Structure 1
Amino acid sequence: MTAITHQPLAMTNPWGLVPSLGNLDAYITAANRLPMLTLEQEQEFARQLKDNNDIEAAGKLVLSHLRLVVSVSRQYLGYGLPHADLIQEGNIGLMKAVKRFDPDQGVRLVSYAMHWIKAEIHEYILKNWRMVKVATTKAQRKLFFNLRSMKQGFKADAAEATHRNTLNPQEVDAVATKLNVKPEEVLEMEMRMSGGDVLLDPTPNEDSDEAFGPIAYLTDTNHEPTAMMAAHQRDVLASDGIAAALNVLDERSRRIVEERWLKVQDNGSGGMTLHDLAAEYGVSAERIRQIEVAAMKKMKAALAEYA
C-alpha cells in the first residue's frame, strides 16, 4: 500500500494543534477545524499503531475524532458537571478505543469509539454527579441515563406539562416496563434527580457576616479535641473543684451553700429555703442571704485558683 501523508496531522506532537481545555471555546473551535480522515488514511494509521505501536499514528487517529467527543459530551450537560470535564473523560474513552481498534474488523473508528466515549462519560457522571452513588446495577444505570429524556417525552404529550414536574402512576409503570426495573426504583431515581443540591459549607456573602449551612449541625463536635478538653475541665471543676472550694468556707457558710445549691429532694426540688435556714440559726432570712453571697464569692475565687 502506498504511504498516505496527511500534512495537517503529520507532526511529532499532534496535540500541539489544539489548545488546553482551560480555554474551552478555543478548544472546541480547534477540534471542529481538524480535518477528518478518509477510510484509507484511517486504515493505514490504525495498522501502523497495531503493527508498530506508532504513537504518532495513534495521535492522528485521536485528533481526527476530537469533534466526536465534543458532540457526544454535549448530550450530558444536563447533569450539572463542567463541559470541559466531560470532554476530558470522553477523550480518555476515545484513546482507549484507538488503542483497541482493529482495522480488519470492517467498521469505522467513529462507530467503534462511540461506545468507549459514552462509557467513560457515564462512569464519570455516576461517580461525581452530586457526589452520590445513584446507580449500582446495569438496569439502574439505564434508568439513570434515560429517565430525564422519557420524562420530557411525557411532558410534551401532557396538556398540563408546564404545571407538572413529577411522573403520574401510569407514566411510572410505563418507564418501569420499558427499562425493566421496578416502579419503586423509578420513583426513587426521580426523587434523587429532582432534588436540589445543598451547599454544606456556604461562603458568607456581602449581605451577611455569617452564613449557616448543614455543616453547622452535621459536624460532630463531641470528639473535637478542644471540646473534649473543655468538657473534661468542666467535669473536674464540678467534682474536685467544688470540693476544694467548699473547704475554704466555715462550717455555717458551707452548710448554707450545700442546702441551697447542692442538695436535691426526692421530688426534684432544692434544699432548705432562706426562711428555713433563718429559723434554724435564729437570724433573719436577709442575714442568711448575705452569708450565702459572701460564701459564693469565696468559692468563685477558690475555683479560679483551682482551674
Structure 2
Amino acid sequence: MKAPLLTRERETDLAQAWAQRQDEDALHELVSAHARLVVSQASAYRGYGLAMSDLLQEGNLGLMQAAARFDPDREVRFSTYAVWWIRAAIQDFVLRNWSIVRTGTTTPEKSLFFNLRRLRAKIAGTDAGISDTDARGKIADELKVQLKQVETMESRLSGPDQSANAPLGEDGSSEWQDLLVDDGPSPEDLVQKTRDNQVRAKWLKT
C-alpha cells in the first residue's frame, strides 16, 4: 500500500523531528511518503538499458540525501527539493554505468546525452521537413555545444549501447527492453531498505 501524501504542516513537523532529534520514525514516514517521486524519476531513465531495480535503489539514496540536507525552515516543499537530489543520483548512476559515457564526459556532453532524444523529438514534431543537418544545428545552438559534439553523440547513441526501444529480431515484434524483466523488490521494499545502517552511515553524515 502506498504511503499517504503529506500535508505541508505534517511534512514540516517530520523534517524538523529528523533535523533536530534524529527521529528515525519521522525520517521513515517522510521518505516513504515520497517514494512515488523515486518511481517517477527512475521510470524516465529506463531507456538507457539499466535495471529498474538499480535505478530505484539509486533514486532512494538520492531521496535519503535530500532528507539529510533538507532545511524545514525554508519556504520550499520537500518534494521540490527531493526531486533534484533523486534525479541527480539517478543521472550520476547512468553516467557511471552506460559505457558510452564512462570516460571524459564534460558538463555540456552530459546535457547533450540526456537531452538529445528529447530535442530530436521536439524538432520533429514542430518541423517534420527539417534536414538532419539543420536539426543538429538547432540542437547544438540550444544546448550550447559544437555541431561536431552533436554528431558524435548521435553516432554513439546509435551504436552498441542501443535504446531500450530498439527492435529485436527480423520481424521487429519485440523490443530490447522486453528483456529487462524487473525481478527485484517493490519500490516500497526498496524505500524500506534505505533505513539500513550502512546506507545511513554513507549518506546521512553530518
- Is 2:100–2:161's contact at 8 Å kept on the other side of the alignment? no
What residue is the counterpart of 2:37 in the other structure? 68
Q: Are 1:181 and 2:150 counterparts?
A: no
Measure, in 2, the Cα distance between the counterparts of 1:197 and 1:147: 15
Choose which of 137, 157, 170 in structure 1 pairs with 2:106.
Answer: 137
- Output the CA distance in 1 between the equivalents of 2:101 and 2:134: 28
CA distance in 2, matches of 1:92, 1:105: 22
Q: Is the 8 A contact 1:126 1:134 kept in 2?
A: no
* Uncovered stretches (5+) of structure 2, i.e. residues with no partner: 163-206
| 1:69–1:90 contact (8 Å) kept in structure 2 | yes
Q: Give the SS at the match of 1:105.
A: coil
Structure 1 stretches lacking a partner, 5+ long: 1-29, 162-166, 199-307
Is residue 2:158 matched to residue 1:194? yes
State the Cα deviation string for residues 155-180 of structure 1 (Å, max 9, x = none): 3345579xxxxx71111111111101
Q: How many correspondences in the alignment?
A: 162
Q: Provide the C-alpha distance between the structure 2 equivalents of 1:149 and 1:196, rounded to a whole number of angstroms.
A: 20
Identity among equivalent positions (%) equals: 41
Structure 1 residue aligned with 2:82: 113
Specify the SS of the correspondent of 2:44.
helix
Query: What does the per-residue CA deviation read over 1:46-92, in whole Å, with 9 as the maximum and x for residues that have no partner?
Result: 11111111122111110000011101111111111111111111110
TM-score by length of 2: 0.73
Match of 1:58 among 9, 17, 27: 27
Q: What is the letter of the counterpart of residue 189 of structure 1?
A: M
Q: Kindly name which structure, 1 or 2, has the bigger radius of gyration based on alpha carbons.
A: 1
C-alpha distance in structure 2 between counterparts of 1:58 and 1:142, whole Å: 33
1:277-288 correspondence runs (5 A): none
What letter is aligned with 1:188? T
Deviations 1:264-305 (A, max 9, x none): xxxxxxxxxxxxxxxxxxxxxxxxxxxxxxxxxxxxxxxxxx
> Which has the larger displacement, 81-90 or 103-112?
81-90
| RMSD of aligned residue pairs (Cα, Å) | 2.0
Whose RCO is larger (CA < 8 A, sep 6+)? 2
Partners of 1:194 and 1:95 in 2: how far apart?
35
State the one-letter code of the partner of 1:178. E
Specify the alignment match of 2:72 in structure 1: 103
TM-score (norm 1): 0.50
Tell me, yes or no, if the aligned pair for 2:108 and 2:144 is still in contact at 8 Å: yes
Letter in structure 2 aligned against 1:123: D
Q: Check conservation: 1:135, 1:144, Cα contact below 8 A.
A: no
